[in-house]
Amino acid sequence: MTFQEMRDQQLEIAKKAVFEGSLEQVKRFVAVDMSANSFLQGDDAPLFAAAVLIERGNKTPLEVATATMKPEIPYRTGFLAFREAPVILAALEKLKGDFDLIWCDGNGLMHPRRAGIATQLGVQLEKPSLGVAKQPLTGKYEDVPLEAGAHKPVIASSGETLGFALRSKRNTKLIYVSPGHKCDVDSALEFVLEHLDGLRIPYPTRLAHDASNAARKEAQG
């Protein structure tokens, strides 16, 4: 698949995405993340994904599933989903329990073509989804106060609100929250705020990150 074909596919995904809806009914959700060996160079180094099933309000995972595969797509900013989604989907398929939401380490609506990895996974699985990223891919925002929980909307050049720049911990770098599918920007932010626990990276992302790293280390012996 060429990058032009991937771009066209993202535009189609964005047309199917629904950036509306509440997350009040979510009882269980799954956090997903991907790990790679930083010592192995090249775009064909294996990827390790984890899917962690979490009950809302409980930090103890209900279930953890992992998968590994070599990527078919080289890394390129803005096209992360095509590289990482296949191995994440493989991990999700191993889960026995059902879930009401996908929590992604990456962007959703806050993407140049409104189709980050959270949107691509949400549309493909027809599930609500949201993205919590370390960097925004598009949009501008005002200075965010240093207090934990402070946030400012990230605005596209069109004036559309894409999500929020969030100070998850006092005086630390920001994280960026955006809806992926079947929820609006405010609901995505409220859900993430609910799952902060005093550290910069919210615990659902940390659980998935730790699980994917553990899978990688185990495979490496």
> What CATH number is given to the structural domain containing 209?
3.30.2170.10
5-63 pLDDT tens trace = 999 999 999 999 999 999 999 999 999 999 886 545 456 688 999 999 999 989 999 99
Euclidean distance between CA atoms 120 and 140, whole angstroms = 23
Does the pTM surpass 0.85? The reply is yes
For residue 170, being part of any structural domain is answered with no
Euclidean distance between CA atoms 151 and 148, whole angstroms = 9
Tell me the residue range of the domain where 21 lies: 3-135+179-220
For residue 55, being part of any structural domain is answered with yes
Nearest to 108 by CA among 116, 98, 96, 120: 116
DSSP letters spanning 18-42: ------TT--EEEEEEEEE-TTS-S
- 81 torsion bin: left (phi>0), alpha (psi -120 to 50), beta (else): alpha
For residue 163, being part of any structural domain is answered with no
Q: How many domains does the chain have?
A: 1
For residue 73, being part of any structural domain is answered with yes
For residue 10, being part of any structural domain is answered with yes
pLDDT per residue of the chain (221 residues) written in tens, 0 to 9: 888 999 999 999 999 999 999 999 999 999 999 988 654 545 668 899 999 999 998 999 999 999 999 988 888 889 989 999 999 999 999 999 999 999 999 999 999 999 999 999 999 999 999 999 999 999 999 999 999 999 999 999 999 999 999 999 999 999 999 999 999 999 999 999 999 999 999 999 999 999 999 999 888 76
Torsion of CA 3, 8, 9, 12, to 10 degrees: 160
